[in-house]
Chain A
Amino acid sequence: MSLLVAEGISVSFGGVKAVQDVSFSINEGEVFSIVGPNGAGKTTIFNLISRIYNTTGGRLFFDGVDITRVPAHSIAHLGIARTFQNTELFDRETVLKNLLIGAHIHRTSNVLSDLFFLPGVRRQELAFRKAAEDVIDLLDLRSYRDQVIANLPYGVRKMVEIARALCLKPRLLLLDEPSSGLNPEETEDLSFWLEDIVEDLGITVAMVEHDMKLVGQASDRVLAMADGKVIALGTPAEVQTHPEVLRAYLGD
């Protein structure tokens, strides 16, 4: 079954047609990768799905619900979490605090109960903390728990961002270049974690990725883009040998 469906979505910035009439669907339980040269419009697709930008044409459906015009903050509540290409963490807070913010959509407390820190809020905090610790264990972030983001190396920040997204307990996880800034060993760890995320947590993953080895290993299907348009869609092997794709990467 398709979890996310994009029907001919487009957007342009000034004169730049960043995404033109792109259609695809992501199946529940798969790893779906988007590849393409710089400026192809990959990140823009994620920004359209997470409603940071408005589509100028086409429609988006998540789990059968039309999300083309829902406000950006509702996307997380529907079950879509994401990471950012250059990381967008809450830099002045600790790793733990970042993860707790990830759990925000699960809050049942309100401003008043928070002001008085009623027993319900305390129970909720303990539950959030346990959930965050599970993610910390999963991604091996124990030693960074109490460190402030601004002091962490880039590779760790990338992992913290994935951890924060997992704290939302999403159904669909959008990862924008998860391996950029990671060294080869970290990238290998990442491919194992991806497996865990998909198989153990049952989360569907869509990722933008430049590392073709990782794409080949981890993904079920690949979408290749260039200049805002789809040029190929299929299994990793099919896409990697597709003549259009080779041309887009190597140039004429």
Chain B
Amino acid sequence: MRYLKKTRYLQDINLFKHNGQRFWYGLLLLVMCLAPLGLDRFLLGELSLVYIYAIAGVGLMLLVGYSGQVSLGHAAFLAIGAYAHAYFLNLGWPFPLSLFTSMLLTGLIGGLVAIPVLRMSGIYLAVATLAFAVIVEQTLTHWESVTGGFRGMLVPKPEFFSADLNAYIPFYYLCGGVLILVMLAGLNLLRSPTGRAMVAVRDSETSAQSMGINLARTKSTAFAISAGFTGLAGGLFAHKIGYLAPDAFTLLTSIQLLLMVVVGGLGSMHGVIYGAIFIGLLPSGIAVFRDAVPPSIGQIPGLEPGVFGLILVLFLIYEPLGIYGRWQKIRLYFEEFPLYRRSTYKRQKTYLRTERLR
């Protein structure tokens, strides 16, 4: 194990716990900045997409991983952000104002949706959020005056001080910059009372209430922030795909987003990045797979959703801590080699004198 000798309370409060971390994150930032030098247009585009997913991932992670509320409808928030942003741009609003307003609007809708929905939990909550996503999808198809219905709607090119952000290198930096800001905001929440209240609600509602935490308010705040970040991702996503149509935001998208946080590792911000890389690469992986196997298997229509669902279930059963959890175990294995104890991460069972519960 690694031991960190702490000498000041601020070490727990500050974002970076020690200089080693500062070094590694600095290096990561440098790599992010230099990536356009080494990557071609296609790969840079893919990386931008990974950043966009990660922005939504931070939002979804706060909700699912830290507040314990499942959402099967996050594609709806992605869609609201995307459509709102495109709509405002079409009205001639400046780019930053439009993006910011879309984020606030989506956050507001998220907070409002939470009010009826947060009385439910577990599977009921999942179904309710799913229903919400269906309603939004229907609205997108039928509210033609705003959304263009089935025909869809063109997303104006982003411009900022006459710089053309749509060119692939500026767009890459735009997505990267927004991701860093969102990540910082997420980490800030987690080290302050708002985030702790979410965690408390996740682990024990009864206890959270007795600590003076307002369940309804905490959950709707979590929904609002989560929706807001996802809406922000939606705005960027709109530019990425260039043309909005309802079929870009289906149940499959919601599952993909959920897959990202589960695969990355619930309850870890690092996991968001791993998860985003994973779902960013997965479609290419599936395409390679389609080509490699005989057409009778490769051309099965529902292959993608099937694979997504399968991976989700496998992770939930075998590695609930996700890729990040797996990485920590592997790191520990090498650090302790050859003395690694297999049971290190096994949950210890405790026996109580009174097992009778409520």
Contacts and interface: CB of A to CB of B under 8 A. Distances in A.
Asked if A and B bind, the verdict is yes
Contact of A104 (B189, B193, B221, B356): B193
A105 interface: yes
Given A114-B192, A125-B192, A181-B352, A73 B197 contact: no
B211 A117 contact: no
6 shortest interchain CB distances as A-B pairs: A76-B212, A88-B207, A90-B203, A114-B192, A105-B212, A117-B188
A91 to B, nearest CB: 6
A150 B347 contact: yes
A92 B193 contact: no
A96 B9 CA distance: 11
Interface in B331-356: 347-348, 350-354, 356
Contact of A92 (B196, B203, B221, B352): B203
Interface in A151-169: 151, 153-154, 157, 164, 168
A177 B353 CA distance: 11
Nearest to B6: A146
Interface in A65-82: 71-77, 81-82
Contacts of B356: 38
Contacts of B210: 50, 52, 72, 75-76, 81-82, 88
A100 interface: yes
Contacts of A250: none
B194 interface: yes
A109 B13 CA distance: 15
Contact of A151 (B193, B203, B221, B348): B348
B207 A126 contact: no
A91 B192 contact: no
A247 interface: no
B182 to A, nearest CB: 10
Interface of B: 9-10, 12-13, 185, 188-189, 191-197, 199-200, 202-204, 206-215, 221, 225, 267, 347-348, 350-354, 356-357
A180 B212 contact: no
A104 to B, nearest CB: 6
Contacts of A124: 192-193
A73 B212 CA distance: 4
A50 to B, nearest CB: 5
Nearest to A94: B12
A101 B347 contact: no
A1 B195 CA distance: 39
A125 B191 contact: yes
A192 B313 CA distance: 51
B13 A75 contact: no
6 contacts: A76-B212, A82-B210, A101-B208, A110-B194, A126-B10, A130-B9
Given A52-B209, A125-B191, A126-B10, A101 B350 contact: no
A111 interface: yes
Contacts of B189: 111, 114-115
A94 to B, nearest CB: 10
A154 to B, nearest CB: 5
A93 interface: yes
Given A50-B210, A115-B185, A122 B350 contact: no
